[in-house]
Structure 1
Amino acid sequence: MCSWLGRAVSSCFRPLSQYARMNKDDCEGLGSEDDVFLWSRDLEKHSHGEFSFAVVQANQVLEDQSQVETGRHATFVGVYDGHGGPEASRYICDHLFHHLLRLARENGIMSEDILRNALSETENGFLTLVRRAYEIRPVIAAIGSCCLVGIIWKRTLYIANLGDSRAVIGYLDQSKKIIAEQLTKDHNASMEEVRKELKALHPEDSQILVLKQGVWRIKGIIQVSRSIGDAYLKRPEFALDPSFPRFHLPEPIRQPVLRSDPAICTRDLEANDKFLIFASDGLWEHLTNQEAVEIVHNNPRVGIAKRLLVSAMMKAAKTRQIPYTEIKKLDSGVRRHVHDDITVVVVYIDHGMLDDKTSTPEISVRGFVDTAGPSNFNFS
């Protein structure tokens, strides 16, 4: 693998002038300023503190979609890690927040039920799109996305998760040491708990889990057990025939193989809670929870999301025995052999601002997009 990557590196250099710069910010000392596939917003304000945002593309088409929405009294973070294509993650980015905002305004509050219903409407909307496009483009039935959402409202953190993106909080213990606490569970067949759940839900299906090249996959195809989309693994009418060998199932499914109901948790923010890290699994493949929170805790806020992202890529380079400087020269697609698309949002919690009535900027930022528009995340 390493020798192959060495040849790929030498054959895939591209003059930097071919590409438009996706990020105009400098991040001194990180060595990322000439990476044309890396975008960041180094530090912005939100209603409860500040946030830092970074994305790097590895796939031929960026499959990670992400957004931050800030209001006067609420903050929304979404990380959507697509697979099979970008359509599902883009759909979530375009629709989920608007469903949530409408439901929150109708009720005047935020709640677990509102978050759950917003995700259900998003799933149903995407499956409707699949139904309309299926005859013309059947492969759309095999496109899906993980979905991680975080909302801060009135000192309460709400988190919903489908898939293996992850939210981690960094807090100080009694000795003032920074501690990582994982707030989400990875819905991935690599986890024994997930495999037990799948076997319990499908006792008559001997192929519900298949070990391929040392990796557990559901039906021998996919690792994540919950998602938005992936219609062919949820509804028999979207089954794909043998002309799609990667996604073809030898027998029709009798019940959904993947789940679309999110795992939701709430947490009252406490004085020792310092920051949150929301990231797609591309980050957690290379950094442990504790490594990530220590990087955030021990470095300046400005550019911290980019610092985490670059730290993960440097570890990926070391694993593949390739200089990090060479990875930055790889074209998209080829680069996926070294690391995945990675999205990172770091949200600092400044407790003095939780009761502060001072207005904060209301902005809407999407990952890998240099423009930021106004946000209307206000519902009470």
Structure 2
Amino acid sequence: MGNICGNSVSKLASGESSSGSGKGRGQNGSVKYGFTLVKGKANHPMEDYHVAKFVPYQGRELGLFAIFDGHLGHSVPAYLQKHLFSNILKEGDFCADPNRSISKAYERTDQAILSHNPDLGRGGSTAVTAILVNARKLWVANVGDSRAVLSRRGKAIQMSVDHEPNTERGSIENRGGFVSNMPGDVARVNGQLAVSRAFGDKNLKSHLRSDPDITNSDISVDTEILIVASDGLWKVVTNQEAVDIAININDPEKAAKKLAAEALNRDSKDDISCIVIRFK
């Protein structure tokens, strides 16, 4: 199958951005996508990576879209960019059992990342992946707080699950960890990590989960767009606000840039990565 995820890696200096676009055949004409990645104001290198492309697979056309939001370095999200989709499509017959293929690939990819330590460092990454099958069926999976939001008749539908320490406090404590929430800060696992599920993070792995939540949806004539983005957007823009901003911009690359600009205008400090997929 080869490297279906590509090797494009954006190493961005402060204030710089990267963007692009593409399209697939779709069920009635083309499905278009556009993306943008903008380095945040934090004093560390860009740690967001993405995948956005269409590939042939067993007589079908798959749209592969993902945002990988790294922390404590870019090695883990770069590894995910290169390997996660390949692993999903190698896990038996994806089209026969997408749920199993995705779950197993997430698990085995995390095990591979941990086994490569210290080559990949002590960092980790969240992930949200979206697989579009023949522009008719959508499968979304995620660990962490990057998010996928679908628009149907202009209504925002969240397709992913935000994995926050307070929400999964019981699981963390059952694994011997704890959740702290210092005044003025967000809840963190063992006072360190602001998400309860992630790839990597070897030092915290005994207290973290890396199994994804998986959802699916039919793509109907009422479905307008899908937005896949890192929490640099979602910290300051609601699901419905994002849909309202993007839905009337026909060019999905311009829509992604508009969303990133809005997040910056609202003083988002984090890296901002966004993919917009337009179905009609």
Length-normalised TM-score, structure 1: 0.63
1:66 aligns with 2:50: yes
Find the aligned partners of 1:133 and 1:274 in 2 and give their Cα distance: 42
Could you tell me which of 173, 185, 189 is aligned with 2:161?
A: 185
1:82 partner SS: strand
Greater strand percent: which structure?
A: 2
Could you tell me which of 37, 53, 58 is aligned with 1:55?
A: 37
Find the aligned partners of 1:308 and 1:46 in 2 and give their Cα distance: 23
Pairing of 1:205-224 with structure 2 (within 5 A): 208-214=178-184, 215-224=186-195
1:144-176 alpha-carbon deviations (Å, 9 max, x no partner): 00011000114211111000000001111xxxx
- Structure 1 spans left out of the alignment, 5+ residues: 1-21, 24-34, 135-139, 173-177, 235-255, 317-337, 351-380
* 1:47–1:75 CA contact under 8 A, matched in 2: no
1:49-80 alpha-carbon deviations (Å, 9 max, x no partner): 10010000124311001111202411010110
Find the aligned partners of 2:189 and 2:107 in 1 and give their Cα distance: 22
Partner of 2:17: 38
Partner of 2:71: 83
* 1:47–1:71 CA contact under 8 A, matched in 2: no
* 1:47–1:74 CA contact under 8 A, matched in 2: no
1:144 aligns with 2:116: no
2:207 partner SS: coil
Q: 1:133 to 1:67 in 2, by over 3 A?
A: closer
Q: 1:113 to 1:184 in 2, by over 3 A?
A: same
Partner of 1:169: 150
1:158 aligns with 2:139: yes
Larger radius of gyration: 1
* 2:64–2:131 CA contact under 8 A, matched in 1: yes
Find the aligned partners of 1:108 and 1:228 in 2 and give their Cα distance: 24
Find the aligned partners of 1:297 and 1:69 in 2 and give their Cα distance: 21
1:146 partner SS: strand
Instruction: Give aligned pairs, total.
Output: 256
Find the aligned partners of 2:270 and 2:51 in 1 and give their Cα distance: 19
Find the aligned partners of 2:222 and 2:64 in 1 and give their Cα distance: 21
1:100 aligns with 2:88: yes
Find the aligned partners of 1:89 and 1:47 in 2 and give their Cα distance: 29
* 1:148–1:165 CA contact under 8 A, matched in 2: yes
Partner of 2:214: 264
How far the C-alpha of 1:299 sits from its partner, in A, is 2.5
* 2:169–2:178 CA contact under 8 A, matched in 1: no
Partner of 1:343: 273
Could you tell me which of 211, 231, 241 is aligned with 2:202?
A: 231
* 1:53–1:345 CA contact under 8 A, matched in 2: yes
Find the aligned partners of 1:196 and 1:223 in 2 and give their Cα distance: 15
Partner of 1:241: none
- Structure 2 spans left out of the alignment, 5+ residues: 1-10
How far the C-alpha of 1:208 sits from its partner, in A, is 0.6
Q: 1:218 to 1:195 in 2, by over 3 A?
A: same
1:170 partner SS: strand
1:310 partner SS: helix
How far the C-alpha of 1:120 sits from its partner, in A, is 1.6
Partner of 1:127: 114
Q: More relative contact order in 1 or in 2 (CA 8 Å, sep 6+)?
A: 1
Partner of 2:5: none
Length-normalised TM-score, structure 2: 0.84
2:162 partner SS: coil
* 1:110–1:153 CA contact under 8 A, matched in 2: no
Greater helix percent: which structure?
A: 1
Q: Percent identical across equivalent pairs?
A: 30
How far the C-alpha of 1:81 sits from its partner, in A, is 0.2
How far the C-alpha of 1:107 sits from its partner, in A, is 5.9
Pairing of 1:277-356 with structure 2 (within 5 A): 277-302=227-252, 303-316=254-267, 339-350=269-280
Find the aligned partners of 2:142 and 2:25 in 1 and give their Cα distance: 23
2:167 partner SS: helix
Find the aligned partners of 1:56 and 1:107 in 2 and give their Cα distance: 32
1:119 partner SS: helix
1:242-283 alpha-carbon deviations (Å, 9 max, x no partner): xxxxxxxxxxxxxx2000111111222222111100000000
